[in-house]
Structure formats: C-alpha cells, structure tokens
Chains A and B, each alone.
Chain A
Amino acid sequence: MAEEPQCMLQLPPSSAAGGEGLTEVSPETTTPEPPSSAAVSPGTEEPAGDTKKKIDILLKAVGDTPIMKTKKWAVERTRTIQGLIDFIKKFLKLVASEQLFIYVNQSFAPSPDQEVGTLYECFGSDGKLVLHYCKSQAWG
C-alpha cells in the first residue's frame, strides 16, 4: 500500500434533510485526532469496546473514475451510502446525468440506505472500510 499522508478528514455531518448541504472540506483541514497508524499500537486494531462514532473509510476509484485527492475519510457510522455518493459526486463535480456507484468487496453495491457503520462491521479490516467507487452513465 502506498504511503499516503495521514490526513483524516471529517466528512461534514448530514443535515436533517438527509445529506444535503454538505460543505466543501478543504484539504488543509485535519481532525484533532492523531493519524490512526501512530495512535494504534501494533497488534491491535482499535480500542476494546470501541464505540467511536466515526469509522475510517478508504475510497478507491475504479475504471476511468477520477481519483479523489483525499482518499481517507472519517465518517459517522450512521452516514448512508446515498449520503456518501452525494458527497463524492459533489467532490468530483460530477454532473447530474452521471451515476456514481459504491462497492464493498469491489463487486457488491450496498443499497443506498445502508449505513457505513454496518458495512464497517461486516467488511472492515485493519481498522478501516475500503470502498470502491465508480462513475457511469448507467442509464439513458
């Protein structure tokens, strides 16, 4: 795995309206928490009884999809896939006619209402959830 700057960016909290109104997160913004690799001792992934509200997500582009400059994100467990899709689309400045799909295990698209926290429980490893994203003109 390539060495990446450990900037854990906070995904802006969803508004009550369901994920709208995300503000642009500047790449300079870092969270108060130290990078996870420094804070976690070898052999343990996360503190026991971890009830962290946020989980770490690593976003990877598939196909011709633009690669996000920032790949590592700290995301609230209750954020849905739809919310994440909306965020990435805005971040990548995709037009409305482009669809964005997110995959776990590189091949399975969770339903839009799925919470990332649940996905992390099922598919997370090494303290993070790897999600692949792919843009497509799927219909029309």
Chain B
Amino acid sequence: MEEDEFIGEKTFQHYCAEFIKHSQQIGDSWEWRPSKDCSDGYMCKIHFQIKNESVMSHPGASTHGQTCLPMEEAFELPSDDCEVIETAAASKVIKYEYHVLYSCSYQVPVLYFRASFLDGRPLTLKDIWEGVHECYKTRLLQGPWDTITQQEHPILGQPFFVLHPCKTNEFMAPVLKNSRKINQNVNYITSWLSIVGPVVGLNLPLSYAKATSQAERNID
C-alpha cells in the first residue's frame, strides 16, 4: 500500500476478500457481488430486523448451511431461499441491505444502504434516522444532508442512501498512521466498517477485530 489514507481499487477488493473470508467463518453473511462485466463489484449484506425486538440475522449466502435462529413459536421453517420468518406483523420486520462500494473519486470505500418493510415499502430517510444510534444522532441531526444522502447505486442503478465519504480520510488517517507506527496490519475495510456501520445500524461482531490480529501473529 503506497498511500495510507487512500486505497486503490485492487487494495479495496483485497481487503473485502479478507473481510468476507472471516464473515464466512462466523456466518455473518457478507458476500461479494461482481458487476455485470466483472471488472468491479461490491460487498453486500442483507439483514432483517424486527422493530422493537431483538435482531435476527439472515444468512443470505447460506454457504455454511446455517438456518435462521429458531423462534419461540412454531413457524414453518423457511425454504433454502430463506425468506424471513414473519412474526407478529409483516410491517414490523425491516429488511436492511448494506453495500460496500469503492469510490473512484474519493478513493475510499462508501457505504450504501436501504431498508424496506416486507411488503416492499421503502423506509424513508426519517425512518432511517430514527434507527441511528443515540451517540451519533446529535451530530447527524445538525446537518443530516451533509452525511446521509440518497443516490443512485453505481452498479444497480437503484436509489440507495449513502453515508457521505468525504470525511473518511479524516477518521481513518489517525488509525492507519498509528498502526504503521507499531507495524500492525490493519484491514482497512474492517476498521472503516466498524466505525461507520453503527451509524446506520450495522454492528460488526467483535471477532473481526481478532481476525486481524490473528493474521498478524501468523506473520510474526
């Protein structure tokens, strides 16, 4: 990696691959989706959340054969396509989609996301903000249009919400500089996603942090 704050597209893809490797190990259901001409692509995760209840993750790729978490009541198990288990009311279940794309103009990853109810109704930006974690709300609400905007997905061409990448370098730079100082290998995508994810309801399991350090120890 020649530069610290900016990453090239190949580097981006490399970190995504490493990230997905770990995701597969722990059943976190991230997958890589190549674009039509396969020249680029993005990371994607689908996640179902029951409003006001505990989160239920959806193993989209099912590479490990894991089924959805068993619920208390006896529902019919979903087919292998894994549609979500409907609980009290369909309108209470929200499907979140998170996409990690590479921005050529900013030379950083960008988080695209959208959410909809099971009947297909998309969540509004206002609904999204209600899901933003308390500790980010004040800052975001001061200038929401600076941070979350709606844009066309560069590959899918559909409207998505986007967490604006213009400040990515600002918060990534100290982390990267610091890790260089101590000769630590950092997965840029893991670090970056751990920071931006919670803003839009995406929390990374702690084992991602350990995955990086285990890789370091192997190098030693």
Contact = CB atoms under 8 A, between A and B. Distances in A.
A62 interface: yes
Interface string A121-134: 01100000000101
Contacts of B136: 99
Give chain B's interface residue range (CB within 8 Å of chain A). 35 or more
Interface string B133-145: 1111011101100
Contact of B175 (A64, A96, A99, A106): A106
Interface string B118-155: 00000000000000011110111011001100000000
Nearest to B143: A140
Contacts of A86: 135
Contact of B184 (A82, A106, A109): A106
A111 B204 contact: yes
Given A96-B139, A107-B212, A118 B170 contact: no
Interface string A104-116: 1111111111100
A18 B134 CA distance: 11
Contacts of A91: none
B10 interface: no
B139 A97 contact: yes
B142 A140 contact: yes
A112 B194 contact: no
Given A97-B139, A119-B206, A110 B171 contact: no
Contacts, number: 111
A107 B191 CA distance: 6
B167 A110 contact: no
Given A97-B142, A112-B133, A136-B171, A63 B177 contact: yes
Contacts of A112: 133-135, 198
Give chain A's interface residue range (CB within 8 Å of chain B). 35 or more
A105 B170 CA distance: 19
Closest 6 CB pairs of A and B: A63-B174, A108-B209, A111-B203, A139-B147, A109-B194, A140-B146
Contact of A139 (B167, B177, B179, B212): B167
A132 B140 CA distance: 23
A137 interface: yes
Nearest to B176: A107
Nearest to A100: B135
Nearest to B186: A107
Contacts of A111: 133, 194, 197-198, 203-204
B171 A107 contact: no
B206 A63 contact: no
Given A106-B184, A111-B203, A118-B206, A82 B175 contact: no
